[in-house]
Every structure is written in structure tokens, then in C-alpha cells.
Amino acid sequence: MFRHISKIKTIVLPEEYNKCVDKHADGLYRFALKIMNETDMAKDIVQESFEKLWINRKAIETSKAKSYLFTIAYHLMIDKKRKYKLLDKYMETACDTVHSEQYSDLNELLHRAAERLPDIQRSVLLLRDYEGYSYEEIERITGLSLSQVKVYIHRARLQMKQYIGRIDNVI
């Protein structure tokens, strides 16, 4: 007896690829920009990610394109950070400082707090809280273990809480 083999829908046609670009480009750019803090680098990462998607389009399932793009972008960002030595110097000083200034713009305050996080913590926090990925998806994207993902997210949230300080400073 022959088994029924279902066809997996992959990104073969240019129209399918263009739909994928329209659907995921903005979110991928926001993610890259928050990590890299430089618009040109973020644009390059998005471009390279979509280029790799195009090259591998026949092997990538349409339903997994977003996860594939974020995985590629994440690894490109790590490579670029290492290459240009743009690693944060936060670990040396930020743990000893407590934020005491008052900000009326909560979004600006959160952005500044996220900028101070180490790259790995900022990456997993953004994937979880901004992009809505589950812990398991973040594990697959980053290559970290599930427990490492949870620890990094927990530590990132604690450091952001410490940076922001009391709720009175936010209001």
C-alpha cells in the first residue's frame, strides 16, 4: 500500500515571497533596530534575512517563514555585533546604578531601559514581549536552552524594573 504524502506548501513563486515580505518586513526591521540601534545596520539585516529566505525558498514552509526570518536576523545581528565590536559595556556599570530621573514618556523610558540590557537579554526580551514568541519558539530561534531563555528574560525584566525604579518616577 502506498502512503498518502501531503504536499508541504513552500515559498516557490515570487508572489508568495512578496507576500511574505509585506507581512514580516516591518516586524523584522523593528526587532533589528531595537537590537542594533542603527537604522542602516537594521536595514542590512532585514535585507540579508530576506535574501537568505529567497535563496532557500524551496525548502522553507510558508507557515514557518516568520520564524525562519527572525532566526536568520538574530544570528546576523550576533555576527555583526562581534565583527564590529559593538558589545554593550552595560555589565560593568549598570548593575550599580539606579535610575532616579522622572520621565513622562513611558515608551521612551522603556526604550532607554531596554538599551541598557546586554544583547542576549534584550534579544530574548524583545522576542517575547514585543514580537509575542513563546519560550519554545525563542529557544529554536536563538539556539539557547529553554531554561536559559527563561533565565535571560527574568534577568532582563529585573534589570528593567531596577532601572525604572519606583512607579512614582514613571508618572
pLDDT of residue 80: 83
Mark residue 28 as left, alpha or beta (left: phi above 0; alpha: psi -120 to 50; beta: remaining). alpha
Could you state, in order of their start, the residue ranges of all structural domains in the chain?
10-87, 88-171
Which residues on neighbouring strands pair with residue 10, listed in sequence order?
Answer: 61
| pLDDT given at position 106 | 72
Q: pTM of the prediction?
A: 0.60
Ordered per-residue pLDDT tens for the chain, 171 residues: 444 445 667 877 888 899 999 999 999 999 999 988 889 999 999 999 999 999 998 898 888 999 999 999 999 998 887 776 544 443 343 344 444 444 456 778 788 888 889 989 999 999 998 888 999 999 999 999 999 999 999 999 999 888 887 555 555
CATH class of 88-171: mainly alpha
Q: Which CATH architecture has domain 10-87?
A: Orthogonal Bundle (1.10)
pLDDT, position 99: 45
